[in-house]
Amino acid sequence: MTITNKDPAIRRANLQDMNALKQCIDRAYAPVKTRLSDLPDVSAGLESEITDNVVYVAETDEKLIGCAILAIDGELAQLVNIAVDPEYGGRGAGRRLIEVIETHARDMGAIEIQLATHIGMPENVALYAHLGWSETGRSGSKVGMSKPI
C-alpha cells in the first residue's frame, strides 16, 4: 500500500528495500554516533524487522528517505525505530511516518505505543513530547515514552 495523499509517499517495506533502509538509518544516526559511544547498531537485523514486524518507508522522487519500525503485541505497540535521512529532515517525513504507524497500530487493536530513546538525544525527547508522547521513566541511557492511541 502506498499512501500518497501527502508528500512524501509512505508504503510498507519489503526485503528489496534492505540496502536503502540500512543506508537511510545509518545516515540518520551518523551525527549522534560520534557523540554517543553506547548507541547500538540501529540498522542491524533489518531482514527480521521486515519479516517479523511492520516497517514503513517514506519516499520522495522514488528515493527512500525515512522509515519506521513497529512491533505489535496485543494492545501494546513498540516504535522500535524511526529514522529520516538528514538531507530530507524538516519536510514532514518523520511526522507522516508516525501518523501511519499510529493508525496501523490502532487498526491492529493496540491502545498504546511505547518507545525508548537515548538520554543523550534530548532533541528526540522534546520532539516526541511535542507530538503527544509522555515520558514514562529513565533507566541507564534509555528514556521510555508512551502515547495512547
Q: What is the 8-class DSSP label of residue 96? A: H
Nearest CA-CA partner of 83 in 57, 53, 122, 115: 57
In the chain the domains, ranked by start, together with CATH numbers, are 2-148 (3.40.630.30)
pLDDT of residue 3: 41
Residue 23 · residue 66 · CB < 8 Å: no
Tell me the one-letter amino acid at 99: E
Each residue's pLDDT tens digit, 113-141: 999 999 989 989 998 999 999 999 999 99
* Residue 1 scores a pLDDT above 60: no
Q: Using one digit for the tens of pLDDT, what is the confidence trace for 18-38?
A: 999 999 999 999 988 888 877
Q: Supply the pLDDT for residue 4.
A: 41
Q: How many other β-carbons are positioned within 10 Å of the β-carbon of residue 48?
A: 9
